[in-house]
Amino acid sequence: MAGHLLLYGANGYTGELIAREAVRRGLAPILAGRRAEALRPLATELGLPWRTGALDEPATLAGLLAGVAVVIHAAGPFVHTSRPMLDACLAARAHYLDITGEIAVFEEIFGRDAELRAARVGAVPGVGFDVVPSDALAAELGRALPAAERLDLAFASLGGSWSRGTLVTMIEGLPAVGWERRDGRLVAVRPFSATIDLELPGIGRRRAVQIPWGDLATAWRTTGIPNLRTFTVLPARTLRLVRLLVPLLGLFGRPAVRRRLQASVRRRVTGPSAEMRRTARVALWGRATAPDGSSVTRSLSVPEGYATTALAAVECGRRALAGELAAGASTPSGAFGRELLAAIPGVAWDPH
């Protein structure tokens, strides 16, 4: 595909990881963001071109995307940033990829499928840890049990921590509620209430708690399975604390409180160290169940979440740049098939 690859948000924690991985893979993306002083040092170090532009300035965005064929959008919270960037991609006829995990963002982008097809622009939200490995897991389960009516997905981190941008995005979503998909519809549920017991690779038997996760939007579209729930394994102490805080979610949702929490995160949080990214892993588990009670279970493990995001985003960007992305809104598995996860180093499926 003629044109350049542009990485917006390159100066953020995850954006920098994507930039470095792109260079390692032999790509030369244009680094982009709002502030020159934040971009210039990284661009100089990596020998890459760079551009600045604000998402709230359409004219500036038009210039930013001049000659660009594919955008990897890595600047959240995506509930605020995805729409202007997608609008700019539509105007520039550039494919759009992002690393969101926000259900509302997935739903909005999938809702623009007809517009994207008419413009011959492809859009794949969630090309990082959210949701490349779990979407591939869902796809495998759907193929293994075509009659499935329910899908449960879960993950657990073996080491690792959060980046500043991830925590800021999570806080922006407060007051959070729980979600699941019933008969194809998103339905609000009491947060952190339901639990399931499961066997995770590298961990053993654990109890997982229900959370809202991006797969509630993507796995449904990948598999057509109408009833979905998503879970994570939390340490018992953390889960007790989370449940104590649930009644206070309304307070945390006040704009002034959110701003103070986000300011504190920006001052104090960086992200996982290089050693942590090298050694930590994430285990994923899924179970598809048919109306007759028969079920299929699969599990896999992948590198630490931010490491996986960099690997997956660059692979998706490379494939889109090579002309492998069709017009319209797609999930990662829908866009690139089984080959996507197979191309990411460090992925290990459990034998079954």
Q: Return the structure tokens found at 219.
A: 């796995």
Tens of pLDDT, residues 4-57: 999 999 999 999 999 999 999 999 999 999 999 999 999 999 999 999 999 988
CA atoms within a 13 Å half-sphere pointing along the CA-CB vector of 118: 5
CA distances from residue 90 to 70, 83, 115, 278 in whole angstroms, order as listed: 11, 10, 9, 37
Look-up of token digits 């947060």: 191
Q: What is the pTM of this model?
A: 0.90
* Range name among 112-116, 137-141, 254-258, 270-274 with the lowest pLDDT average: 254-258
- Residue 114: predicted pLDDT: 98
Any residues with CB less than 8 A from the CB of 215 and at least 6 apart, and which? 131, 134, 135, 138, 153, 228, 230
| Cis amide leading into 58 (omega within 30) | no
Q: If you ran DSSP here, which 8-state letter would residue 246 be given?
A: G
Tell me the domains of the chain and their CATH numbers: 4-129+307-349 (3.40.50.720), 132-304 (3.30.360.10)
Tens of pLDDT, residues 140-192: 999 999 999 999 999 988 875 554 455 445 545 555 668 999 999 999 998 77
- Could you tell me the sign of the dihedral formed by the alpha carbons of 175, 180, 183, 185, in that order? positive
